[in-house]
């Protein structure tokens, strides 16, 4: 297969590969968006459910505190009833006993009732603290659940970077190199010398006619050569320059520089 045909085949393969990469990138992006949107819907549902659970925990705490306070008020009322009806002082007063001993008994009975009321109040405060801790733990748990759910949707996915455009080979240059290769095999003197076809160009001398002598390799090839540059030959010996498909070659048989492997 000639170089021009090879270049066309390689260009076509590069175009197909690029089109495939673009299509694959788009498919992956659409799939990522679909997954992200589903996660967002799930997140919104989770937030609503967690918020309802937090509200339920607060309501439960308030209900339990109201019940405990109601029980405490009943116990207070019972203490007052016993103080009035069943205490030692009330019995003395009912029997008509008065004086210092009755007053002393009254103080002792009220002190006893006061101690019991303080114990009830302390127990009520401790109970409300425990209920508050439990509710706070539940609320914190549901908040942590919401935070974890948010972390899954906090950052919208970004599309992958597009693959670079393929670097196409010059079909004309390849065909020209192929033609020169055939010509060189026949004549042994015509060689591609256009700077655009070369790389790693380094000047190592100069011929008697003033042409620069260089080392270089053709783009994409490892072999190094010694020769000249067609644009310089065009100025000194234009009849030694051949132009085909926009690139220049040199007939080394007409100049004082040899073309050889370095």
Residues 96 and 203 in one domain: no
Predicted confidence at residue 3, as pLDDT, reads 53
Distance CA 231, CA 199 (A): 15
Give how far Cα 166 sits from Cα of 13, 22, 159, 232, Å.
10, 12, 20, 33
Residues 141 and 13 in one domain: yes
Do 219 and 200 touch, CB atoms closer than 8 A? no
Residues 202 and 83 in one domain: no
With respect to residue 162, please indicate whether it lies within any of the assigned structural domains.
Answer: no
Structural domain count, the chain? 2
Residues 79 and 179 in one domain: no
With respect to residue 55, please indicate whether it lies within any of the assigned structural domains.
Answer: yes
Low-confidence ranges of the chain (pLDDT < 50): 1, 182-188
Predicted confidence at residue 211, as pLDDT, reads 95
- The whole domain housing 252 covers 171-261
Residues 111 and 11 in one domain: yes
Distance CA 18, CA 21 (A): 5
Residues 190 and 248 in one domain: yes
Predicted confidence at residue 95, as pLDDT, reads 82
Predicted confidence at residue 236, as pLDDT, reads 94
Which residue, of 116, 151, 186, is where some domain finishes?
Answer: 151
With respect to residue 163, please indicate whether it lies within any of the assigned structural domains.
Answer: no
Residues 142 and 183 in one domain: no
Q: Residues 6 or more apart from 200 whose CB is under 8 A from it?
A: 215, 216, 217, 224
Predicted confidence at residue 12, as pLDDT, reads 83
Predicted confidence at residue 251, as pLDDT, reads 92
Predicted confidence at residue 185, as pLDDT, reads 41
With respect to residue 113, please indicate whether it lies within any of the assigned structural domains.
Answer: yes
Which residue, of 118, 151, 184, is where some domain finishes?
Answer: 151
């Amino acid at each position: 297969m000639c170089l021009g045909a090879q270049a066309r085949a390689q260009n076509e393969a590069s175009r197909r590969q690029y089109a495939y990469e673009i299509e694959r990138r788009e498919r992956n992006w659409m799939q990522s968006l679909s997954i992200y949107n589903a996660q967002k819907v799930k997140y919104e549902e989770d937030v609503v459910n967690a918020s309802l659970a937090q509200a339920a925990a607060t309501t439960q705490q308030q209900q339990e505190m109201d019940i405990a306070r109601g029980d405490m008020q009943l116990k207070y009322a019972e203490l007052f009833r016993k103080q009035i009806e069943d205490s030692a002082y009330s019995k003395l007063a009912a029997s008509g006993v008065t004086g210092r001993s009755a007053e002393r008994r009254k103080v002792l009975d009220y002190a006893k009732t006061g101690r019991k009321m303080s114990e009830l109040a302390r127990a009520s405060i401790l109970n409300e603290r425990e209920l508050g801790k439990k509710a706070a733990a539940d609320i914190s748990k549901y908040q942590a659940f919401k935070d974890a759910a948010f972390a899954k949707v906090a950052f919208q996915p970004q599309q992958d970077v597009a693959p670079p455009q393929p670097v196409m080979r010059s079909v004309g240059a390849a065909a020209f190199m192929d033609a020169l290769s055939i010509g060189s095999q026949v004549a042994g003197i015509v060689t591609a010398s256009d700077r655009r076809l070369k790389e790693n160009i380094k000047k190592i001398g100069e011929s008697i006619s003033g042409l620069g002598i260089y080392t270089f390799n053709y783009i994409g090839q490892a072999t190094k050569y010694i020769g000249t540059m067609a644009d310089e030959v065009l100025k000194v010996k234009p009849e030694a320059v051949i132009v085909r498909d926009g690139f220049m070659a040199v007939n080394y048989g007409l100049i004082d520089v040899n073309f050889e492997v370095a």
